[in-house]
Amino acid sequence: MTLFHVEADVIRKGTARGGSQGFAAYIARDDISHEVREGLSAEDGNTTTHARYLVREGKAGDDLVATGSGGLPSWATDAAMFWQGADRYERKNATVARTYQVTLPRELSPEARMELAHDITETFFAQFPHTWAVHCPTGADGQEQPHLHVVLSERRDDGIPRAVPTYFRRAHPRDPRCGGARKDRSWHGKARLCELRAGVATLTNAALEREGHAVAVSHESLEARGIMRPTLVYGGAKSKEAITQARQSSREERAAEENAANLAAWQAQRATHKLTDLSREAIVDYVRDRFWLKDPSSARVRERQVSAMRAIAREHERTGRPLQGPLAKVVRPSLGPLSVGLARVRGVRQEESHTGSALNVRLRDWEIAHARERSQELTHDTSRGW
């Protein structure tokens, strides 16, 4: 059964040892000195708390697959400079950063895992200052445990040049140039985390199906999916090995049932939302536009417009139908003297609506007189044999 896990946490100023800079260095494995990588003692105080943790666990940071940063403001030459400024200038007890850990399916190939990690960061975090890293350690069961780490600032850069201390001040309620970069409060709350989990599950299921794996994940709880797990009975087993074996056996027994339910939910989602195109570009556009639907910023509006144009281009390429441009101007044929007469009548009627009933009487008199003249002309012509 494919593992699915999205964990969120908050780094507040003055409450986390090492702060956001230490955590970003930890996931990027930048805080591990040469001596630590050689497996020597790190109790000399020259390394950070995170580095000492790696040494204590017998690790040397070799589980790092890739790392990077994005969304940084112009004043930050690199991610370390940004996180150092956040730790220093954010106000007391404020949220300095948010952290996320997302499990990547071990069923995917290494290339597909990196593509999924890139799609996740591109969908949810690209417009915010962030640092990401992909780790792939070996678990206690001897299998790979690939996962993605992200440390994120809520302050989305708006392009206004600011000094570093000013950037982390409170945003001005009316004039953004007079305060700091505004924090995006949409990250707050349990509902937002559920939306993030749902979006990650969609990206993950699309990646699994693209590679042909008959497995799926779900962001919903077992109760919401209608799955009831029986109480695990160890049968008197007391040793750690026996308990581990009992858990493994129970997991294998329920894996098929839960995976079938996940696949059915994924296929129902595809049918409901008409997800016929599972390409990376199409799925990222779909998830990103839904996740940021309530964001009225100009950047998100342009993003949705570009997504719509890409969807039209993909549909054109798939079906071969011509692209629909602006409607051509319809040129109506001229009716000659009759059109001039109709225009005159329209003008008279339009004038009638403004001048009142007197013009209405004159118009009726003119119509009656004109009809009499025309009748006399026709009678005269008939009498002459025309």
The span from the CA of 213 to the CA of 175, in Å, is 52
pLDDT at 375 over 70: no
What amino acid is encoded at 205 in this protein? N
pLDDT reported for residue 44 = 40
Cite the beta strand spans of 15-114 per DSSP E. Answer: 64-70, 95-103
pLDDT value at position 348? Answer: 47
pLDDT at 32 over 80: no
Rounded Cα distance, 219 and 199, in Å: 9
Q: Is the pLDDT score of 267 beyond 90?
A: yes
> Which amino acid is it at 53?
Y
Contact 51, 42 (CB under 8 A): yes
Q: Give 360 or 156, the one with higher predicted confidence.
A: 156
At 40, the pLDDT band (50, 70, 90 cuts) reads: very low
Segment 89-97 shows an average pLDDT of 92
pLDDT, tens digit (0-9, with 9 covering 90-100), for 305-335: 999 999 988 888 888 777 665 555 545 555 4
N- to C-terminal Cα separation, the chain: 97
Greater confidence (252 vs 262) lies with 262
Domain ranges in the chain? Answer: 1-215, 342-383
Taking residues 179-185, report their average pLDDT: 93
Question: Cβ(205)–Cβ(216) under 8 Å?
Answer: yes
pLDDT at 290 over 50: yes
98 pairs with which residues across the strands?
A: 10, 152
Please check whether residue 30 is in contact with residue 81, taking contact to mean a CB–CB distance below 8 angstroms: no
Show the beta-strand stretches assigned E in the chain. Answer: 6-12, 64-70, 95-103, 130-135, 147-152
Helix or strand run (H / E) with residue 266: helix 240-272
Amino acid (one-letter) located at 263: L
CB burial string 18-47: b at 16+ within 10 A, e below: bbbbbbbbbbbbbbbeeebeeeeebeeeeb
Dihedral sign, CA of 215, 219, 225, 231? positive
Cβ proximity of 168 and 90 under 8 Å: yes
Task: Choose the most confident range, by mean pLDDT, from 25-29, 43-47, 109-113.
Answer: 109-113
The span from the CA of 120 to the CA of 118, in Å, is 5
**Residues sharing a CB contact under 8 Å with residue 343, sequence separation 6 or more, in sequence order:** none
Options 3.40.50.620, 3.30.60.50, 3.90.1150.10, 3.30.930.30; CATH of 1-215: 3.30.930.30
Would the pLDDT of 73 be above 60? yes
User: What's the predicted TM-score (pTM) here?
Assistant: 0.74
CB 359 within 8 A of CB 366: no
Q: Side chain identity at 212, as an amino acid letter?
A: G
User: Is residue 246 scored above 60 in pLDDT?
Assistant: yes
Asked if 27 and 131 count as a contact pair (C-beta separation under 8 A), the reply is: yes
**Element counts in the chain: helices (H) and strands (E):** 13, 5
- The string of DSSP codes covering 152-208 is E-SB---S----HHHHTSPPPSS-GGGS-PPB-GGG-SHHHHHHHHHHHHHHHHHHH
CA gyration radius, the chain: 35
What is the 3-state composition of the chain as percent helix, strand, coil, each rounded to the nearest 5? 50, 10, 40
What tens digit of pLDDT does each residue of 199-224 get?
999 999 999 999 999 999 999 876 67
Average pLDDT, the chain: 80
Residue 48, both tokens: 């950070």
User: Between 379 and 17, whose confidence is greater?
Assistant: 17
Residue 194 has pLDDT above 60, yes or no: yes
- The confidence band for 379, taking pLDDT boundaries of 50, 70 and 90, is low
Out of 29-43, 96-110, 181-195, pick the least confident: 29-43
Share of residues in the chain with pLDDT > 70 (%): 67
* CA distances to 177, 231, 233, 234, 275 from 249, in Å: 61, 13, 11, 11, 36
Q: Which of 81-95, 135-149, 189-203, 309-323 has the lowest mean pLDDT?
A: 309-323
Residue 383 has pLDDT above 70, yes or no: no
Lowest-pLDDT range of 103-112, 225-234, 257-266:
225-234
Please, which pLDDT band fits residue 190 given cuts at 50, 70 and 90?
A: very high
Q: Average of pLDDT values for 259-283?
A: 94
Mean pLDDT along residues 241-266:
76
Mean pLDDT, to the nearest integer, of 286-297? 94
Cβ atoms of 323 and 316 within 8 Å: the answer is yes
User: Is residue 147 over pLDDT 70?
Assistant: yes
> Has residue 362 got a pLDDT over 60?
no
